[in-house]
Structure formats: structure tokens, C-alpha cells
Amino acid sequence: MLEKYRTPLTINGITLDYTKETFIMGILNVTPDSFSDGGKYTSVAAAVQQAKKMVAEGAKIIDVGGESTRQGHVQITEQEEIARVVPVIQALVQEVQAIISIDTYKSAVAEAAVQAGAHMINDVWGAKADPRIAQVAAQYNVPIILMHNREQADYKYLWPEAHQDLQQSLAIAHAAGVPDEHIILDPGIGIGFGKTTAHNIQMMQHLPDLVAMGYPVLLATSRKSMIGAILDLPTAERLEGTMATVVYGIDKGCHMMRLHDIEPMRRAIKVADVLVGKQQIEVQ
């Protein structure tokens, strides 16, 4: 299953060898309305400070988002999104040693972000909302994360249909000229991503099938409603639940984790990496 990512990918001086480490993507929302941290990092200075903190705690990738994807979020124009993310990305490239990812489904925003210095595109619509985004990834030779998503949470058989949806995203990326080694898949865990809580739980249970598609897999469960539903807890109290999903994801073969709480998650990830054989430690 390692053929798509056997050769480690080096980006901005950071080598992503998925066989040796589970990589952490730190969430940096420069939005006023994101479900967990909206409004906290809207200034460039605050965003840079938070990114530095996350890198110091173990994040190798910083994912910059300029538009919320929570249920009921207010859509903004491309110009407004670009105005939010580009100054932050420009500052991060100068001040933070990390892979900078742009969290957007709009090709114009992705292109502006990459021109500003972003190294990766994270598309919650898997190149379906704006297929030109795959052309941007190919033109600028940057990796793209293709997340599973659909308009309606309506499935007869969840995994076969999700697999078909992802194959459509892969076809768009391949047609645009994105090489396999630049493609990462994401199961799209979240109520806002065409899934009910029951669907999200099923999708988690199908992670081995997603991993078996042969691409690196990013798992993004941090503080999400599935955890809240299981534990009956608000967003701020979902740390342990998130940790359970992260460790479970590593055991099922996932390669990257998109997270808010870096330090405690890094500790859990290291233990899980040792237990699954990704990392070795000296023991008596």
C-alpha cells in the first residue's frame, strides 16, 4: 500500500516520510466565525504567534483558513478570503519554519496563496466545487489534499459511494496533471461535509479502506461534533475524545492529523507511532 508515498516528500526543508512519523497539521483559522477558534487569530501578529507556538509544540504543517466551513457559515467573496489569508501567509513564510497549507476550495484563493508562499492546498470539496484548483496544484507543483464531501448526507451504502466520490476527485486531479505523489486524501469527518454523526462514525470505521486506496491520509477530527455527540460535551471539552480518534486513526494507518491542541496530541501520537512500529526508541 506504500507505492504512492514510498519516496519521502521534502517541502520547504521538511521531509514527510510517512513510514517513520505521523505528521501534525496545526489549524490556523484567520476567520471571525470558525466553530472552535473563530476570531482569535484574525490579526497577522496573532496568527504568526499562534503558528510559532504550534510549530514549537510539534506541528510540521500550518493550515491557514480564511473562510469557516462550519454548518451555517457565511460565505465570503474570493477577494475577501484572499485579503484575509495572503498577509498571514506572507508573514508565516518569513517567520515560521513549517509547511504552509491553504485551506480553501476556491482556485483563485489557492493561486493567490501559493503565489504568496503557501506550499500545499487543502480542498474540503476534493476539487469538485472548483476543478481549476487542481490545475493550480499542477501548475505550481504543490501537493493537494482531496477531502470527501457531498451536498447531501444521503447514502444507500456509505463506503462504496464515498469511494466513488473520491475516485471522481482523483480523476479531476489526474486530468489536471497532479502526480500521485502530490495527492493526499481526507475522509471528510464533520457534520458540514455531507455526513450525519452516524455517517462520520461509519467513515471512521472504514479508514482502513481509505488507506488501502494507496495515498497518504489526513484525518481531521479535532473537537468535531461526532466527538461531542458521543461524549455529550461542548467544543471546549473534546480533547480526550479527539485524542481517541487520533490514536485510532494511527492504528488504522492514517499519516497526518489536523489538530488544534498540538502539545497533548503530539505526546499521544508519539506513543501510538512507537506502538504501531513507525518510530523506534531505546528500551531496556
- Active-site annotation, residues: 224, 258
Asked if 246 and 219 count as a contact pair (C-beta separation under 8 A), the reply is yes
Strands 23-29 and 61-65: parallel
Sole residue written with cell 461509519: 202
Evaluate whether 93 touches 117 at the Cβ level (below 8 Å).
yes
Alpha-carbon distance of 172 to 4, in angstroms, equals 17
DSSP assignment, residue 280?
Answer: -
End-to-end C-alpha distance for the chain, whole angstroms:
33
Closest CA to 147 of 168, 116, 117: 168
Measured in whole angstroms, the distance separating CA 231 from the mean position of its chain's CA atoms is: 23
CA 171 from chain center: how many Å?
A: 20
User: In this structure, are strands 218-219 and 14-16 parallel, antiparallel, or unpaired?
Assistant: unpaired
Cα separation values, 194 from 72, 147, 165, 205, Å = 13, 11, 11, 17
Enumerate the β-bridge partners of residue 153: none
Three-class DSSP category at 9: strand
Residues making up the chain, counted from first to last:
284
Cβ atoms of residues 267 and 259 within 8 Å: no
